Structure 1
Amino acid sequence: MQTYTHWTALARGAWRLGGDGQFRRVHLGHQSVIDLARGREPLGIITFEPHPREVFAPDAAPFRLMNAEAREHRLAKLGVERLYELPFNRDLAGMDPETFAREVLAEGLGVAHVTVGGDFRFGKGRAAGTTELIALGRELGFDVTVAPLLHIDGIEVLDQHPQGAGRGRVRDAAKMLGHLHRIEGEVMHGDKRGRDLGFPTANMSVARLHLPKLGVYAVKVDVLTGPHAGAYLGAASLGVRPMFGENAPNLETFLFDFEGDLYGQHLSVALVDYLRPEMKFDGLPALMKQMAADCETAREILRSA
């Protein structure tokens, strides 16, 4: 999949826009709209980067549910050929609906067909919706398809935190997403405490992400780059490491039956099931005993999963 951080004239094709042109994550609602856009090539996605909230509220608490790398990988799996990340700034935010439709969609991207969700809003102050987009499309030469909002078990699928993930119910979150909730990123050098304890972990930053419930998870891991690329099983701790007085969350993943160096490589860690919350132990022997028990529990869960 090609990723662009600007817009220029290009071959006319089918494009999909999010509810506000934003993808905090990729859920079944997005997937249903993408499916409606299939059959008109190239199949592309239009989103904003940075997220509008980062422009208007830069000091707000983390709210992204997946980073740009995870978003791109997920969209590629759905068959998206082009991802356009429109550079969001106050000038773009200030465009009235007609200017946005003309300068960005019709002239800039050269769209022939646009598919949007039923809650789509655009233009300064979210002034316009699907009715206005359809009218502007007729005037400017592109068609518009509006996808109905998706409900699962009576709950509307929205671009918010995966249902249940904030309470550790990642299987419920997967029902809304259509896939396991994943955290992706580069393996960083850490303090190597896990290695000393007999559980060497791959450490990843979760900065600027709105996180599911902190604690220990059974996980499936895809090593995306390097000589050890492949699929693995493991256990991961998402949290602040209270045993050691840390306060910045990170993700530490122990890969079962693995030997090798993963520093600098990119991992995709899928949260399969929640095992327990973070705990502070009386000493390292108690911590090591619990880590061994966590790994055994995770192995049992992953065997059945």
Structure 2
Amino acid sequence: MEFIRGTHNLRAEHQGCVLTIGNFDGVHLGHQAVLQQVRAKAKALGVASAVMTFEPQPQELFQPEQAPARLTNWREKYLALRDQQLDRHIVIEFNKKFASQPAREFIEQTLVAKLGVKFLVVGDDFRFGFKREGDFKLLQEAGAQLGFEVIDTRSYRQQQQRVSSTAIRQALNDGDFDSAEAMLGRPFQMRGKVVHGRKNGRTIGFPTANIPLKRLKSPLHGVFAVKISLNRKAEGETYQAVANLGTRPTLNGDEVQLEVHLFDFSGNLYGQQVTVTPIAKLRAEQRFASLAQLKQQIEQDAARAKQLLARA
């Protein structure tokens, strides 16, 4: 799948496609049904299949407090979309300048002039352009004039599947990872690069791999039994672990961070890309009066995590 960052990187060879536009957060089974049909339609028309997403997601720019937690950061989303075997992924930097573009200008300059869209699939609630003036009706009218067809994503969803990003977020919040996996079509995972932290864990005998989440809000909070895969070798390595996802209140943290303590591991993970798969929620994050109490609780968390992971 070709990755195209910004419309300024669109070239003449990118003319002609079947396109779908949306957040596609999670790239769940409902999304996959849409993408499968986009791919099939593109093949029938003899053009490329393409998906357009925005970073940040529009609500994250205009209403960050009300924006939902992200199931996938931009890299995780790209990897999930790549698995759907589309030809192109176009990512638009969503900023106030782009949002102020007249809706008709976006249609004529981006969809028609640069992409040569032959067939467009969007949600019937899709809004775009200056003051959100563009809507599904405008797209249909413009398509009739400019030579492309527009349908809504519901026509391409598998109606028997009641799947949504909201339902997956709720399942994750409830610690119901089996339900989340059933709706995603794969285990829920978080990926990232291990970075240097404050190294507080070492002082109490629990060194952790610190992984920035690269998202405005996390869908998970608390302490979890997890599996962590290290991608430093072609065959990969997987370890059992206990993870904290939160602000670390005992240590006066202020940003949500993923910290993972690997069992039976020694080595240097800094700079390594890793994948964390939560298996079970152990408890909510809480503040302790001292590091000694925190250490005691982590010992209990680690013991319980090992038991749960052994059963899993």
Deviates more, 1:282-291 or 1:95-104: 282-291
TM-score, with length taken from structure 1: 0.82
- Residue 19 of structure 2 corresponds to which residue in structure 1? 15
Query: Quick one: structure 1 residues 152 and 225, their matched pair in 2 at CA, closer, same or farther if it must change by over 3 Å?
Result: farther
SS of 2:117's equivalent in the other structure is: coil
Query: Quick one: structure 1 residues 301 and 109, their matched pair in 2 at CA, closer, same or farther if it must change by over 3 Å?
Result: farther
SS of 1:297's equivalent in the other structure is: helix
SS of 1:162's equivalent in the other structure is: helix
How far 1:167 sits from its partner (Å)?
Answer: 4.4
- Residue 71 of structure 1 corresponds to which residue in structure 2? 77
Matches within 5 A, 1:243-258: 243-258=250-265
How far 1:226 sits from its partner (Å)?
Answer: 6.2
Residue type at the aligned position of 1:48: F
TM-score, with length taken from structure 2: 0.80
1:228-276 residue CA offsets vs partner (Å, 9 max, x unmatched): 9443332211112233232322110122333321101122222232111
CA contact (8 A) 1:187 1:266 kept: yes
How far 1:148 sits from its partner (Å)?
Answer: 1.2
Residue type at the aligned position of 2:231: L
| Structure 2 alignment gaps of length 5 or more | none
How far 1:5 sits from its partner (Å)?
Answer: 1.6
Deviates more, 1:236-245 or 1:95-104: 95-104
- Residue 104 of structure 1 corresponds to which residue in structure 2? 110
How far 1:160 sits from its partner (Å)?
Answer: 8.2
How far 1:277 sits from its partner (Å)?
Answer: 1.3
CA contact (8 A) 1:152 1:176 kept: no
Matches within 5 A, 1:139-158: 139-148=145-154, 157-158=164-165
Matches within 5 A, 1:30-109: 30-39=31-40, 40=42, 42-53=48-59, 55-56=61-62, 60=65, 63=68, 65=70, 66-109=72-115
Query: Quick one: structure 1 residues 251 and 268, their matched pair in 2 at CA, closer, same or farther if it must change by over 3 Å?
Result: same
Within 1, Cα distance between the matches of 2:200 and 2:160? Answer: 43
SS of 1:206's equivalent in the other structure is: coil
Residue type at the aligned position of 2:29: L
- Residue 6 of structure 2 corresponds to which residue in structure 1? 6
Residue type at the aligned position of 1:2: E
SS of 1:112's equivalent in the other structure is: strand
Residue type at the aligned position of 1:126: R
- Residue 299 of structure 1 corresponds to which residue in structure 2? 306
Aligned residues: 301
CA contact (8 A) 1:25 1:64 kept: no
How far 1:63 sits from its partner (Å)?
Answer: 4.8
How far 1:283 sits from its partner (Å)?
Answer: 4.8
Query: Quick one: structure 1 residues 91 and 280, their matched pair in 2 at CA, closer, same or farther if it must change by over 3 Å?
Result: closer
Query: Quick one: structure 1 residues 152 and 6, their matched pair in 2 at CA, closer, same or farther if it must change by over 3 Å?
Result: same
How far 1:168 sits from its partner (Å)?
Answer: 4.0
SS of 2:194's equivalent in the other structure is: strand
- Residue 30 of structure 2 corresponds to which residue in structure 1? 29
Within 2, Cα distance between the matches of 1:55 and 1:284? Answer: 38
Query: Quick one: structure 1 residues 29 and 127, their matched pair in 2 at CA, closer, same or farther if it must change by over 3 Å?
Result: farther
How far 1:176 sits from its partner (Å)?
Answer: 4.0
What is the percentage of aligned positions where both structures have the same residue? 33
Query: Quick one: structure 1 residues 223 and 80, their matched pair in 2 at CA, closer, same or farther if it must change by over 3 Å?
Result: farther
- The partner residue of 1:130 within 127, 136, 139 is 136
1:35-55 residue CA offsets vs partner (Å, 9 max, x unmatched): 221222533210123433454
Residue type at the aligned position of 1:250: Q
- The partner residue of 1:224 within 223, 226, 231 is 231
How far 1:216 sits from its partner (Å)?
Answer: 0.6
Residue type at the aligned position of 1:35: Q
| Structure 1 alignment gaps of length 5 or more | none
Relative to its length, the structure with more helix (as a share) is 2
